[in-house]
Structures are given as C-alpha cells and as structure tokens.
Structure 1
Amino acid sequence: MTYNPALDGLRALAVLAVLLFHCRFPPGFGGFIGVDVFFVLSGYLITSLLRAEVAATGRIDLLRFYLWRALRLCPALMLMLAAYALVAPALFPEDSMFRDVALAGLYLTDYSFAFWDWPDKLSHTWSLAVEQRYYLIWPLVVIATCRLSPHSVAWIFAALFVAASAWRICEVLAWGSWQEVYYRFDTRLSGLIMGSLVAILPWRPGPHAALVLSRFSMIVLGLAFLLLHWELLNALTWPAVLIDLAAGALVMSLVSGHQTPIGTALSARALVYLGSISYGIYLWHYPIVRAVRENTDPVSGTFVVVVLSIGAATLSYRFVEKPLLARRSRPAVQVA
C-alpha cells in the first residue's frame, strides 16, 4: 500500500482538533469531530491493508493481523498507563487509579464510561476500545466478502453504513441522552464502516471531482467544528451522518491520485510529522489536560498541553513505537 503523506496531515488536524476541544480553547467549538475523522481514516487504512493481503496471498492471516495491531497499539498505551499510575494518586486522589487503569488497559472504557462515568481522567481511551472491537470483527467481514465483486461488497458496506447510522439515531431517540450513545462501540461503527466503504469503492474521482470533493468536505467539517456543540443531542443524528460522509469524501479525494490544494496543504512537513506521532499525542494529552485545565487560563493551559503532549508523544514514538514498527514485516503504513 503506497504511503500517502496527506493522510498523516489529516490525522494531525484531527488530533489537534480533539486536543483543543479538551482544552476548551476556543470554548464551545466542535473539536470532538476529530474522533469521527480518526474512525474514517482507520476504517479506510485497515480495510485497504486487509484487501491487499487477500489480493496478494488469497487469504488473511488472522493471528498475524491481531498480533500486528497489538504490537502497534498496546506498548504505547501501556507506557502511558504506567506513567499515569505513578502520578495519579498524587494528582487525582479522588479517583480509583487501579480501576481506571484496568478499564483502559482492557479496552473496556467505551461502555464503562457510557453507563458509569468510569474512568474520568482516562475517558479518552473510549475511542481506542471502539477501534479494538472493530479490529477484532472487521477481518472476519472482509474474509466473508472477499470472493464477491468490489461492486457487491461496496453495496454491502453501504447498507451496513446506513444500518449503523440508523441504529445510532434510534438509540438517540430512545435514550434521550448523548452520553449513553456517544461512547459505545455499537453506536459509533458508522465512521469505521464509511472508511471501509471508501477503501472498497471501485470508483475513484477524476481531477475535477477530487477538487470538488475536497473543498465540499472541508467546508462541511469546518462548519461542524464551528457550529456543533458538545452535549447537543441532535449532533449524533443527521449531523453525525453528514460528518461521516464528508470525512469519507475527503479521504477519497486524498487517495484519488490527483493533487488538490487541500491535499498539498495536508502534506506539509509539520503536519505530516504531527500525524506520524498522533497516536501518542492522543494517548498523552487528556491526562495532561485534566492536570492543568482547572488551574490555568485557556491560552496558557493550551500551550502547556500542546508542548507536553507533543514532547511525550515524540519520546513514545522514538523509543517505543518506531522500533517496534521497524521490526514488523508488513508495509510501513501507520494507523492510529
């Protein structure tokens, strides 16, 4: 699979949006949509890799895939959790450190936070739990559909996207509460499926279509960032569907093979670097946010969070993630 720097640039924007949202700077903005972009990216990259393996070998080595994902994701997470366990008793004495670390380390925080508000300071790991369940299930879906034509698989994935979106909307109407719906694996599948659909689509946009898609999608995502508010229940209904579609359209334009101004901007060296360490930034930023947010003003607090998060992520990538990535035999595609 050919490396595409613009995807790393998009990943950088997504993680920075989430970081700024958690810092509440600027207040009231919808930076949480960065997680939706992450899901679409992950769905696209994982499905592309799985389909490439089927094309090359005629099969998917499930054990190898699961070990590869564990090697990519678990060591950096365990490092962050170990550091958290050392400082949490002093910084957050009101929390149950052992319970929270166990829930995060076992990838249970999507449902535990949705229903019981645990763990508070590690609540950002809910999205990692959602992705882990996707990694467990989706290879089986690819295996089940690998003998079908790309057109048939695309229709199946499109139907799954509609079903997943409809399920989330029904759950919003049934629960009447954003928290019970926002964090759960079963209600957040749509973005991952959208990315998978982009990976399987037999159609790729031409130069003009790629330009239109990139501009349209950035306008939609930009408006969502500006207008959607946290805890706005309606944000999980049709706006969430539109965000998934826009993120999918943006990824499609970036992998079309045609250069666009947005693709060029996303390929900037600084963004590509931040994208390469985005997993570490995501892991480390939220405990840092909770340690400094209540004791500083938004501007200086955000500066401290950005510096410390990038610093911790750089060390994690340099000494933990990169050496392990270099040892694996799969193509060097980074997925976070």
Structure 2
Amino acid sequence: MRAKTRRSTYRSDIDGLRAIAVLAVLFFHAGVPGFSGGFVGVDMFFVISGYLITGIILRECRANTFSFKGFYLRRIRRILPALIVMVTTTIILASFVLTAFDFKMLAKNVLATVFMIPNISIWKTSGDYFSNAVDSNPLLHLWSLGVEEQYYLLFPLMLFLLIRYLHLKWLWGLLVVALLSGIGFAFWAVSFKPTFAFYWLPPRAWELLCGAVLAYYHLRQQSINGQRLMTLLGSLMIFLAIVIARNNDVYADFAHQILAVVGITLLIDGNSQRRNVPDLSHQSLFLKPREEYKTQSSHDLVLTRLSHWISLFLSWPLLVGIGRISYSLYLWHWPLFSLYTYRVHPDALLWYETTALLAATFVLAYGSWRYVETPFRRPKKWNDTAVIKLAFSLQSVLVLLAIGILYSGGFPQRFGLASSAYSAGAEDKNALQKDCHTDPYSSDYHFPSIEKCLIGQQTANAPIRFLVWGDSHANAVTPVFDALGREYGLAGGHATLFGHAALWGAKSNDDNATLNWLQFNQEQLKVIVDRSIHDVFLVGRWPSYVFSATQFEGTLGRNGIPNVLIKGHKTGLQAFRASLEETVQRLQQQGVTVWLVLPVPEMDRIMPRWLALNAADQTDVWLKAPYPERAAAVWPVFKELQAKYGVHLLDPSLQLCREDGQCRVAYKGKSVYYDDDHLSTSGSLLLREMLRPAFDAMKQGL
C-alpha cells in the first residue's frame, strides 16, 4: 500500500507539471494576457519526456526486462491512436475551410507527420512559427511531436548500448558530457541558425538530456540538496519565462529556454522528495506546528511553507486531471484555433470566442483521452498485433488521402473557379525568387553572380542599366521592372536579401546574418561600380526596420534593426535614417541616380485566402489600409533624403490606393498580394505607371 501511495504521489507531481506546460501553450495560442511566453511550455514538455523515458529505460535495464519491442509498442499505443484521430478529423474539417493552396500545404504536413518528420516539413514550409501566416497550418504544433519521436527512435538504442557495454558509473559522465555539448551546440544554433535551432532535434536535444540526467540521478536514490529552494527557484524561473518572454525575438534569445528548462528541472527534483514524505496533508494549505517546525528559523519556515504550497498545487486534483489529458489537449487545441481563425475571425479573437474555443478543446481532449488514449493503452482490450495492424492501416489511409489532395491540386473546385483563382495568388510570385532571393540566416549563404539574376531586355553583351536592390519587397516587385525593361529595351539586375534592405552599417538580430548582410551590401556596391550601373532602385519594407513586423508599436521586428545604440543613435528611427542615408551617399559617390521606392501598403490578413473565402464573387476589391501610421512615421526620412540628396521618390500608394484610404487588393479577379504585405506578380504589374517616368529618364540618358 505504501509503495502504491508513493507512486501515486509521484505521478501526481508529473501530471501537475504536464498541466502547467500544456496550459502555458494553450493560453499563449489563445492570446490570454500574461502568457506572452507560454510557448516555453514545449521546452518544459521536452524535459519531462526526457526524464520519464530515461527513467523507464534505466529501471527496466536494471531489472533486465527492457526490450525494444515493448518500448516502441508502448510509444505506439501512447502516441498514434489519438494522433491519427486528430489528423483525420482535421483533414475533414479543413476540406470545408482551407483554400486549395493551404489544403495542399496541410497534405504535405500530413505526410511528414506519418513519416515522423513534421518538424522538418514545417521548418521548410511554414518557416516562422510566430508569423501571421501560421494559422493556415492546423498541424503546426506537431513540430514538437516530431522532435520527440526522433528522440524516441535514437536515444533508447544509444542508452541501451551504453548500459550494456560500459560500466554504469561511466554513464553518468557521458550523459553530462552530452548535455554540456548539447547546450553548446544549441547556443551556436540559436546564434547562427535560429529557425533550425527552433525546429530540429539536435539543438533541442539538451532539453531532453536535462531530464535524462535527472532521471539517472534519481535512479541512484539521490536528489539534489535543498529541495525547498529548488522548488521555489524552479517555480520562479518558469513564471518569469512564461510572463517575460516575447515571441518577436525568440529565435535569437536563448535566455527564455534556459529559464524554462532549468526551472522545470529544478521543480521536478524539488518535488521528488515528496515520495518519501507521506505526511504532507492535502487537506490544508497550512503546515501544522509540529515539533520539527518549532526548531526552524522564520526564514526556513517560510521556505518550507512556500514549497509545501507549491507541492500541494502540483498535486491539486484538477491540475492532475489536466495533466493526464495533456497530450490530447495539446493535439486538439491548435487545429480548433487555427481553423476558426482562418475561416471565421482572421482578426484578434474576442474574449467569448477564446473562451468557447478553450472549452471545446477541453471537451474534445477529455473525449480523446477517455475513448481513444485509454482503451488503446490497455493490452487486454487491444493486443499488440491488433494495435500494429490498425495503426499501419490508418497511417496508410492518411498517406493516400494526402497524396490525393496533392495530386488534385488541393481540390480547388470545392469553392468554385473564382475562389480558386484568388487562392492561386498565394503562388503568384517572382520567378527569380528561388535562385536570386537569398537567406542571410543560412550557414551556407552566398549570392549568385549578377549574370544569373538579370531582368529586362537580355541581349548579348548588353550593359546593365539598372539594379533593383532590397529585401523581399524588392523581390516581390521585380516582375514589373522585368516587364518594363523588356518594353524599353533596357537590361537590369535583381539583388534581394530576405529581411534585409539596402541599409548600410545596420545590424541584424544575429551576428551571422549581420555579417552576411554587410557582405551582400558590399557585393552590390562592387557590382554597381564594376558594371557602371547608372540607376539603382532601393526597395524595402521600410517600416519593419523601425517597428515590429506587423503592428505600429515601438518594438522591433525579427528582421529589423535592433533598438540599441547603432552609430550613436538611440532609437530605431534614427538608426534607420543614418543607415539609409549612408547607402544613398555611397551610391551617389559613384555617380548613381537613386530611386527610392516608398512602402507598399500593408494589409492585416493573408489576401489570397481572404479573397477566396469572402470576396470570390467580386473581381475588383478595395480595403482600408490598416497601418497608415507605420508608413507615415518613416515618411519624413524619405522627404529629408529627397531634399538633401535629390533622390527620386516613387510612391506605390499613388497607384494602389485612393484618397479615402482604400487600397486595391484584387484586380480583374486576381489577388494584388500573395500574402499580407508582399505584392503578387499581378499586383507588381500595377506599378507600371509609377515606374514609367524612371524608365523614360533612363531611355533618354542612353
């Protein structure tokens, strides 16, 4: 009976910690105030998984009962039934909601989930976990499951071989070395390959290894001294991670991971002593004045009481219950929020919508746990052979469904031809993007020679008259430069860098990207000098280098200039002005005519999707620009450069917007944007008249 009590207490602690982790993620995705860093709940899950899995393997190896068959069968029973039900339901619901383009992306992620690489697929397709576009992927959250599944495949074999062929005392040292190496690699990855660090197993391995090291330590009937302090410190660190962390600089910030991982590790260890303290009352929040407390100092008594309350909270029946259904909670929450936001309410959810979605999540999660998870984890109900056959059969069905969706092009006929045409706008991008729009965050960054990125009239030995230089917004408008170049018989070049416009001396949000940015700028200036290029068009999403990527606020976008001292300037706006001014100066020193293209009006929704679902019966659509103050805030910089250096200003809003603030988002049945802020190829061609005076001037100057 006593052993059973200890096991129950232990499981209550772990379930309580699982509940904290899953609630943090749920409330983060729901936009609940105070949970801006709730995404660290996934980091906490990794530690808990590492702790539990390692503990199972070590205990079974010590008892000579471990088998790979048994281990993986338990994983299949634990993971696949609920996962398959959720994915199948998501496909069915998405068929009524997602446009053809996004339905195809869902199918790709279904295939990746079946083959246990959803994290890699999402890394390649969705990219930024925190971008506005991620609500189009109802399976986005499965990236973390991919990390865990890959860990389950590799770690048990490695651990088993180490236990079998090495003395147990060596295992401790190897685990610690692996942990320290993992931390070092993760720090490097966060600094130089931030999105890789977020999605892939190797940079995440240290979090799982933290749990593994602690499991080994506990197996030897040891725990770190000072459990009360560990409990309090761990709780404080988790609280700070959840409340303080922000998603707009998460890729370059290792601190939030440290807080969450170390915090949950300390909390697991701090509560491990409860297994040997059966007299902790669950009936009272206050410790009784027993004899041992009378000898404690007031400081020790406060620590004892606080740690006691935390332990009681973690074993609170409601929290324990949430912890037990935490896997199903995690599985179901994002598809509900994603599909609802996608179809019904693309803007910020109202409080009652959030409440209803959370309630629905809990109902579905309980049903999944009660009627799917629990039965399949009972060998008497489903024997091993039946589970394997059923899992293989259902996985095969999912593969066939996904292939069918891809082969059909996402079943565009679901919403009609007009809707399908708008949906196709998501793929209406610059054809040169693949080869000539490079990523400074890539470890193998290189920019191709100008000969591979020519636009306009391309004849043998024709001189390059103009260059389009900038970030992804420059890449997006390149088609209109290409069309006019062909019309006027002028050759041009295309040089664009993801998230980094022509700003000289500015800093990116990680050192590697900053170096690549500087190299890119130097390369373009050298090309301009060597090829005697006369005209340069500077294009960029200029407001995002001063403010956040999508909102008008004094914080910084992920790809923008950090709001720190740059060249002695205290604000992002000052740094932006100084960097753009230096670019203009360097160009004019080479006798170049500078054309500065002002910001393209930004929208607050993914336009091809919105048009396909809400305006398919209209061929010309106008919407009020939601962020006019963002462009207005940087406008004085452009006017100052015009007055001081005589640069030519080209304003896309004169072609795309009316005086009443309404901007064109659809023209002749085609989307003007391919997302919320980049012009589609069709949209860029609407800027012909804006650029025609520049091409007239270039033609006359020959």
Is TM (by shorter chain) over 0.5?
yes
Distance, in Å, in 2 between the alignment partners of 1:136 and 1:252 is 26
Q: Is the 8 A contact 1:281 1:309 kept in 2?
A: yes
What is the deviation of 1:190?
1.3
Q: Indicate the residue corresponding to 1:55 in structure 2.
A: 62
* Greater mean alpha carbon deviation, residues 25-34 or residues 159-168: 25-34
Q: Deviations over 1:118-151 (max 9, x none)?
A: 7822110001010001111111122123255555
Greater strand proportion: 2
C-alpha distance 304-168 of structure 1, shift in aligned 2 (>3 A): same
Gaps of at least 5 residues in structure 1 are: 330-336
Please say if residues 77 and 105 of structure 1, whose CA atoms lie closer than 8 Å, have aligned partners that are also in contact: no
Q: Check if 1:88 corresponds to 2:94.
A: yes
1:75-224 alignment to 2 at 5 Å? 75-93=81-99, 94-95=101-102, 96=104, 97-117=106-126, 120-147=137-164, 148=166, 151-175=169-193, 178-201=194-217, 202=220, 203-205=222-224, 209-224=226-241
Residues 150-175 of structure 1, C-alpha deviations (whole Å, 9 max, x = no match): 55322221211111121121112223
Structure 1 residues 252, 150: closer, same or farther in 2, change over 3 A?
farther
Hey, what's the Cα distance between the residues in 1 that align with 2:72 and 2:62? 19
Worse-superposed segment, 64-73 or 138-147: 138-147
- The 1:218/1:27 distance shift into structure 2, 3 A limit, reads closer
The structure-2 alpha-carbon separation of the partners of 1:28 and 1:232, relative to structure 1 and needing over 3 Å to count, comes to farther
Q: Counterpart of 2:58 in structure 1: which amino acid?
A: R
Alpha-carbon distance in 2 for matches of 1:149, 1:211: 33
Contact 2:40–2:256 (Cα < 8 Å) also in 1 = no
Structure 2 residue aligned with 1:307: 359
**Distance in 2 between residues matched to 1:174 and 1:102, nearest whole Å:** 29
CA 1:298–1:152: 2 relative to 1, 3 Å = farther
**Equivalent residue runs for 1:209-248 within 5 Å:** 209-233=226-250, 236-248=253-265
| Aligned position for 1:320 | 372
Aligned to 1:65: 71
* 1:103 counterpart letter in structure 2: A
1:42–1:192 contact (8 Å) kept in structure 2? yes
Checking the alignment, whether the CA contact within 8 Å between 1:25 and 1:298 is kept in structure 2 is: no
Distance in 1, Cα, partners of 2:251 & 2:70: 41
Q: Is the 8 A contact 2:172 2:216 kept in 1?
A: yes
Deviates more, 1:135-144 or 1:252-261: 252-261
Q: Which residue of 2 aligns with 1:270?
A: 318
> Contact conserved, 1:165 with 1:241, CA < 8 A, in 2?
no
Task: Report what 2:40 is aligned to.
Answer: 33
Do the aligned residues in 1 keep the contact of 2:19 with 2:319 (CA within 8 Å)? yes
Query: 1:66 offset after TM fit, Å?
Result: 1.1
Identity %: 28
TM normalised by structure 1 equals: 0.89
1:266 Cα deviation after fit: 0.7
RMSD: 2.2
Q: C-alpha distance in 1, partners of 2:380/2:185?
A: 38
> Do 2:337 and 2:357's aligned partners in 1 also have CA atoms closer than 8 Å?
yes
C-alpha distance 230-298 of structure 1, shift in aligned 2 (>3 A):
farther
Letter in 1 for 2:228: L
Compared with structure 1, are the counterparts of its residues 150 and 230 closer, same or farther at alpha carbon in structure 2 (3 Å cutoff)? farther
CA distance in 2 between counterparts of 1:216 and 1:2 reads: 25
Looking at structure 2, the residues matched to 286 and 124 of structure 1 have their Cα atoms a distance apart, in angstroms, of 7
Which of these residues, 15, 25, 48, is aligned with residue 8 of structure 1? Answer: 15
Report which of the two structures shows the higher radius of gyration computed on alpha carbons: 2
Range with bigger deviation, 184-193 or 26-35: 26-35
CA distance in 2, matches of 1:310, 1:216: 30
**1 CA distance for matches of 2:154 and 2:117?**
16
CA distance in 1, matches of 2:84, 2:72: 17
Secondary structure, counterpart of 2:116 in structure 1: coil
Partner residue in 2 for 1:333: none
Cα pair distance change 1:244/1:150, threshold 3 Å: farther
Q: In the alignment, residue 228 of structure 1 is paired with which amino acid?
A: A
Q: Matched residues in 2 for 1:188 and 1:328: separation?
A: 36
Q: Could you tell me which residue of structure 2 aligns to residue 332 of structure 1?
A: none
Deviation larger for 296-305 or 182-191: 296-305
Paired letter, 2:107: F
Is the CA contact (8 Å cut-off) linking 1:28 and 1:229 kept in structure 2? no
Q: Which runs of 5+ in 2 are unaligned?
A: 1-5, 128-135, 281-307, 382-702
Q: Distance in 2 between matches of 1:235 and 1:250?
A: 26
Judge conservation of contact 1:23–1:301 (CA < 8 Å) in 2.
Answer: no
Give CA deviations for 1:283-333 in whole Å, capped at 9, x if unaligned: 00001111234626342232122111111111111111111222279xxxx
